[in-house]
Structure 1
């Protein structure tokens, strides 16, 4: 999901580069490759941390910390793990210029770990095999979509507003369906969710690539923008995973 302003949509002398500017020569830029590799490493490490924490909780007595073994109801820790990440994203989004790169990295790891605590509850609902199948399906789709966003010469900035508005509408629909409990609406929400976050994966990748040309040569800002870029792609990945799991997941 978009967190920073898309530099491709700015105007003026210092406006961000367009997709046409970020063309073939840019893909051969050693600095850009190094920057994008750092973004992907952060993102992949965050996904790995989430998976490790989820498996650790799900396959041990730690699962009792988020779900009462007697009643099956969520504990206080689960609700902390559910809502605290939102605060971390807000902190990073609005406070990134006031914190150090090291603090940004720490908050990213904390966010990924808390999401892992949340995700451990998925193993109480879905079989481990279906979770693994969904994960690998999303991983393959993510790589293809992100590669498209990185290499395409087409300017995807026009998609941004549409996709973000779509995500807002999607979560409003999710809230409404909490009361309606409509299976048909649930399936439609899941399908639309997968498509929206697939589009955001390509869009955010191109945006991160454009941001590089705004921060290149500014060490601290490059480090912080790499963390923010990783967070954007991480959010795209886990949301696409969650919506696809609603299709592919085999319930216990």
Structure 2
């Protein structure tokens, strides 16, 4: 067996492994999104309080570290569902608020549709072009830090325009992360489908909430 044959076999194995990670990632992502939607529906039905929603967010943040630690073990799947279930459930209060607006249900569906359009569009672009977007990693992390600092500052400043600017910025940053994370899977930078799922899930989650905030601000009608 010559070097060319060895290289061809290695290349085929790499492609098969990448396709397996992609398939497992999108399967698990779809399942966690459905599970999150069910959890959100349940917390909406019981009328979750803002304090409980904050508590679930804190719990999800703790579980995020657990998920990353358990991603290479058999229990990783359980922790992914626990994590996404808490985040999905925490949306109940927010969704009830927007659902209470005169055109609230339409806004929620528009946000859902826009999120799906952005995700599938960017994912398809990354998958078909197979471009390497790893160069965006540093810019995206800086953007996230700036957005986080601005969000914390605006808790005290309470400037509506700043809140909208932060949401718009998060939409752009999460769109970049979708390209970045999908590219990492395609190019072998991420070989663990549990970690890949969590990364894409967080991008979709933040994309949806930010789009909903923008639509509520510009199209909401009490």
When the two structures are superposed, what TM-score results if normalisation uses the length of structure 2? 0.83
Aligned equivalent of 1:85: 60
Q: Which has the higher contact order (CA 8 A, sep 6+)?
A: 1
The Cα shift of 1:90 comes to 1.5
Q: What CA distance in whole angstroms lies between the structure 1 residues aligned with 2:66 and 2:39?
A: 23
Aligned equivalent of 1:6: none
Aligned equivalent of 1:40: 26
| Structure 1 runs not aligned, ≥5 long | 1-24, 68-73, 216-224
The Cα shift of 1:188 comes to 1.0
* 8 Å Cα contact 1:125-1:251 kept in structure 2: no
Q: Is residue 186 from structure 1 mapped to residue 163 from structure 2 by the alignment?
A: yes
Q: Secondary structure at the match of 1:121?
A: helix
* 8 Å Cα contact 2:21-2:185 kept in structure 1: no
| Structure 2 runs not aligned, ≥5 long | 1-10, 99-103
* 8 Å Cα contact 1:147-1:202 kept in structure 2: no
The Cα shift of 1:198 comes to 0.3
Q: What CA distance in whole angstroms lies between the structure 2 residues aligned with 1:83 and 1:92?
A: 14
* 8 Å Cα contact 2:57-2:90 kept in structure 1: yes
User: Which stretch has the larger CA shift, 171-180 or 116-125?
Assistant: 116-125
* 8 Å Cα contact 1:50-1:116 kept in structure 2: yes
The Cα shift of 1:30 comes to 4.2
Please give the per-residue CA displacement for 1:136-174, whole angstroms capped at 9, x wherever unaligned: 111111011112222324321111011011111101100
| Runs of 4+ that moved beyond 4 A | none
Q: What CA distance in whole angstroms lies between the structure 2 residues aligned with 1:209 and 1:146?
A: 11
The Cα shift of 1:246 comes to 1.0
Please give the per-residue CA displacement for 1:179-215, whole angstroms capped at 9, x wherever unaligned: 1111111111111110010011001111122337x75
The Cα shift of 1:251 comes to 6.0
Over the aligned positions, Cα root-mean-square deviation in angstroms equals 2.2
Q: Is residue 117 from structure 1 mapped to residue 89 from structure 2 by the alignment?
A: yes
Q: What CA distance in whole angstroms lies between the structure 2 residues aligned with 1:55 and 1:160?
A: 34
The Cα shift of 1:35 comes to 2.3
User: Which stretch has the larger CA shift, 127-136 or 112-121?
Assistant: 127-136
* 8 Å Cα contact 2:53-2:91 kept in structure 1: no
* 8 Å Cα contact 1:39-1:227 kept in structure 2: yes
Aligned equivalent of 1:106: 78
Hey, which of these two has a bigger chunk of helix by percent? 2
The Cα shift of 1:79 comes to 3.3
* 8 Å Cα contact 2:18-2:186 kept in structure 1: yes
- The alignment of Structure 1 onto Structure 2 pairs a total of residues equal to 203
Aligned equivalent of 1:49: 35
The Cα shift of 1:115 comes to 1.0
Q: Secondary structure at the match of 2:187?
A: helix
Q: What CA distance in whole angstroms lies between the structure 2 residues aligned with 1:193 and 1:78?
A: 21
Q: Secondary structure at the match of 2:131?
A: coil
* 8 Å Cα contact 2:18-2:185 kept in structure 1: no
